Amino acid sequence: MLEILERYRLIQKENERYLKELVDSINCGIAVVDAEDRKLVDINLAGAAMLGYEAGEMTSKLDHAAIFPQDTDIFPLVPNLRSLPPRERLAARANGSLMPVLKSMTVVERGEKRYLIESFIDISGLKRAESDLQASEAKYRRFFEEDLTGNFISANDGRILDCNPAF
């Protein structure tokens, strides 16, 4: 009987190691939060690195609100909540700066406990590109609007789609 228990313990340990390696290999932040007390239970390597922490130091001293300060608004809903689709949020980094992320959440149960499994990706590069595109668009719109010559944009069939005031 003891041999069987020991064998199952080793199998369980191997399964836990495998799952940890699997989750740590994902290039997306994954945080596990206790749904009741909002304490961070675990975070994968990518999530800790994105936020500027070592994985072990995060779980010992941070709660959910320290990482995702905007998300306190969802917690009154948690007893009935099963998941949240991806949405833009801000994540607090170790250095105090805020990082835009696309974050989703799913509630899972293990035994009698409920956990929030939150996945997030850094979208700061996307936000910079979006801002650069808007600035470029504004620059060329101003150039188009302020040009002294008449300018227009037309469709292949000759319909005028846009024109400047001089036109």
Q: Which residues contact 57 (CB under 8 A, 6 or more apart)?
A: none
Instruction: Please write the tens of the pLDDT for every residue from 124-157.
Output: 999 999 999 999 999 988 988 888 999 999 999 9
Looking at residue 64, what is its pLDDT?
80
> Are 163 and 150 contacting, i.e. CB atoms less than 8 angstroms apart?
yes
pLDDT above 90 coverage of the chain, percent? 47
Name the band, by pLDDT with cuts 50, 70 and 90, for residue 79: low
Beta-bridge mates of residue 43? 31
> Of 75, 126, 66, 74, nearest to 98 (Cα)?
66
DSSP SS3 for 64: helix
